[in-house]
Amino acid sequence: MAQLQAILTYQEIDTKLYKLERELAGCDERKEYVKVKKFLETAPEKLDTLEVKAISLKAEVSELSKKYLQVEETLSEFEHLDELVMEGADIAFYKKKAQTIAEQLKKIRADMNALTENVKAADTEYQKLKKQVIAAQKQYAEVSEKYKAVKASRETEKKAIEAELEKAAKAAPAEFLEVYKTKRKEKIFPIVGAMVGNRCPFCSMEPPLAARNKLTGGGSIECDNCHRIIFSE
């Protein structure tokens, strides 16, 4: 039981460190810092994506332009239409063919216009994002310094708590403390608690009877649901 009490004492001190960490994590300076940092981390990929998109769209416009010219060249067949008709050519055939070509050209032109607008939109978005990146790079230095200042203002307090923890750790069983620290890294807190009735004090789940039997004589178990350490007083 003395070893368990040593862990509880360690956790009591650690609660102060956990509270300090939560306060730092939730401060406005850190939120702004994380926001700008995350934007700068993801911006290069977004810029690359927009650049690739613009290049692809420009290539499509170029291909359509070639196709347009190729289709337009077929109209040369109609330059001497009068002579063909005089020689007995079927005017209905040429009329139908001309109509088909005109429809093809109309569709190609519409596709080219749509693609051109998409290129402009992609380029506008790219330029806008570039300006945002430049602004964020300047802002990053500012928000980073503000967050560092906030952390520095709590450093003395943090070191004092860590010194208390180091002292308390000497009285705690090494194996138990290792389990405690592992769960702490997994963002589990509090980690150790006394059973309330037959239930976990943290999530209210009832451990199996076989597990509860292990609590006799100062033993402890891990909750199957929240993975915290339970003991019986």
Q: Which two tokens stand for residue 56?
A: 């692809």
**Positions of the chain with pLDDT under 50:** none
Instruction: Answer whether residue 176 is part of any domain.
Output: no
The answer to whether the beta carbons of residues 123 and 54 sit under 8 Å apart is: yes
CATH number of the domain within which 91 lies: 1.10.287.1490
Question: Domain containing 149: what range?
Answer: 16-170
Instruction: Answer whether residue 221 is part of any domain.
Output: no
Measured N-to-C along each axis, helices 155-169 and 91-153 cross at an angle, to the nearest 10 degrees, of 70
Q: How high is the pLDDT of residue 153?
A: 97
Number of domains in the chain: 1
Task: Give pLDDT tens digits for 13-42.
Answer: 999 999 999 999 999 999 999 999 999 999
Task: Give pLDDT tens digits for 183-196.
Answer: 999 999 999 999 99
Instruction: Answer whether residue 198 is part of any domain.
Output: no
Instruction: Answer whether residue 91 is part of any domain.
Output: yes
Instruction: Answer whether residue 100 is part of any domain.
Output: yes
Long-range contacts of 17-25 (CB under 8 A, 24+ apart): 17/158, 17/161, 17/162, 17/165, 18/189, 20/154, 20/157, 20/158, 20/161, 23/154, 24/150, 24/151, 24/154
Instruction: Answer whether residue 103 is part of any domain.
Output: yes
Instruction: Answer whether residue 192 is part of any domain.
Output: no
Q: How high is the pLDDT of residue 212?
A: 86
Instruction: Answer whether residue 218 is part of any domain.
Output: no
